[in-house]
Amino acid sequence: RKEVEQDPGPFNVPEGATVAFNCTYSNSASQSFFWYRQDCRKEPKLLMSVYSSGNEDGRFTAQLNRASQYISLLIRDSKLSDSATYLCVVIASNSGYALNFGKGTSLLVTP
């Protein structure tokens, strides 16, 4: 079983819609959590970190539930430019602090 699991999608949503992605992790020693964005055939780039208290960056909101080992990303008012693959990333203290990636969730925002 992979340590970080995501629904691969694809999620096809119209512009302006709200969409939510979920991610679960299995390593209880996980201590840092992130969402990365990857455009087709490009390198991943950090979208936002995820904190226990939840955090918001414009139209993007990330939540962490340590008890359930669950991370979410909410995108409001979707734009065409949000179309990408969203990668859930976890760092565990017992794995050398290397990033452990989920397989990604594909989002397509349509006009």
Partner 1 sequence: DADVTQTPRNRITKTGKRIMLECSQTKGHDRMYWYRQDPGLGLRLIYYSFDVKDINKGEISDGYSVSRQAQAKFSLSLESAIPNQTALYFCATSEPLGGETQYFGPGTRLLVL
* Binding-site ranges for partner 1 (CB under 8 A): 8, 31-32, 34, 41-46, 49, 87, 91, 96-104
Task: State how far the Cα of 42 lies from the Cα of 87, in Å rounded to an integer.
Answer: 13
Task: Tell me the closest approach of the beta carbon of residue 96 to partner 1, in angstroms.
Answer: 6
The values of phi and psi at residue 96, to 5°, are 75, 15
**Nearer CB in complex with partner 1: 40/111:** 40
- 95 by DSSP, 3-state: which? helix
**Nearer CB in complex with partner 1: 45/79:** 45
Would you say 36 and 95 are in contact if contact means Cβ atoms under 8 Å apart? no
Task: Tell me the closest approach of the beta carbon of residue 111 to partner 1, in angstroms.
Answer: 27
